[in-house]
Amino acid sequence: MSSPPVARAARWAVRRWVLAPAVVLLAVLMWVTLPLWLLAGAALSPLLPGRWRALRLLWVFVVYLTMQGVLLPVLLGLWLASGCGRAVRRPYWEGIHYDLVQGVMWVFFREARRVLHLTIATDGPDPAAHPGRPLLVACRHAGVGDSFVLVHALMHWYRREPRVVLKDTLAWDPVIGVLLTRIPARFISPEPGAGEQLEDQIAALAGDLDDDDAFVIFPEGGNFTSARRQRGIDRLRALGLERMAERAEALTHVLAPRPGGFIAALDAAPEADVLLVAHTGLDHLDSVGDVWRELPMDKRIVMRWWDVPRSEIPAGREERIEWLYDWWGRVDDWIAEHRPEELPVPARRRPWRPRRDG
């Protein structure tokens, strides 16, 4: 069952009136004390694993928090300019917010790639392979990082306006929580017995895709962990789906897909082609501790895209479930064969010295 309206209103008030101002103040405080943080990061880096890991992670955090501190006042200004939110969902204002997301993503990823020394390679169909057709994008879920990279790829390489289905816990990020209520998106809370309600929400979001839209869904419903994988297998067995449980046991790098939401999107967008996406290198970034331990540095990350024309997708529900499991097995095999590649550490430049003739 969904959360009571009073609880939803209380969470909204805390996010808007407590958390968002606190983040802006934290960004200001961070810049006031930044020299101290940089000195501490530089002092700790030689004592910790990795090449200047503490200092590099600190700078990525500085960039991210600065973006939050700047964007929240900008979003407040847009809310006021749109008539205190009365017109904020109209196409003109949605376009402004999409442009804002695209610009922010470009700045953040440019800086993150530079500081972390990352190369992100894409393997798959050309972005121009689907002219004038909406897309349904089903992605392997392995942490918050994959959501950011996928949206960035769709906006900058595919020139698409993404519509994303996300877990409601991400709404606690102040900027994400504000932005995704002003463009087509859904925060969902997977609760027992709420399957049909969630499918209805997903269908509503996918129901009127334009030719430059991309509907993004993560069929696994959560990030991969061994415990979550086993719970998914046990759930299938408890439902009497022994064959699906056996297929889920064969998947070692991904969770068994939950087909309900994906099939609802297929039914709601009959003209859309499908892209399936896998990647390596952004796994298990769920908490601050995960970011510290797992955030890739000095690596080459690969994103693999598979293009599936609509004509190749079965029409029946059971056939679609089999089709999705077949593809998830292919994604699992690809992940097993492609791990992040270590990049050579950039050589230090020799200090310049004046040339002495003679």
Task: Quick: pLDDT tens for 193-220.
Answer: 556 788 999 999 999 899 899 999 999 9
For residue 349, pLDDT beyond 70:
no
Q: Enumerate the H helices of the chain as residue ranges.
A: 5-14, 20-32, 34-44, 53-81, 91-116, 144-156, 174-179, 195-206, 226-238, 242-249, 259-268, 288-294, 317-337
Task: Quick: pLDDT tens for 147-186.
Answer: 788 888 889 888 899 999 888 888 899 999 999 999 999 8
Q: Which residue type is seen at 159?
A: R
Residue 87's pLDDT band, with cuts at 50, 70 and 90, is very high
By CB atoms closer than 10 A (0-12, 13-18, 19+), residue 354 is exposed
More confident: 176 or 221: 176
- Three-class SS state of 138: strand
2, two tokens: 């969904």
Q: What's the whole-number mean pLDDT along residues 140-145?
A: 72
Residue 217 belongs to what H/E stretch?
strand 213-217
Within 10 Å of residue 100's Cβ, how many Cβ atoms?
18
DSSP label at 239?
T
Q: What's the whole-number mean pLDDT along residues 334-343?
A: 73
- Three-class SS state of 118: strand
Write down the pTM of the prediction. Answer: 0.86
CB 224 within 8 A of CB 142: yes
For residue 355, pLDDT beyond 50:
no
Output the pLDDT for position 2: 52
339, two tokens: 């791990």
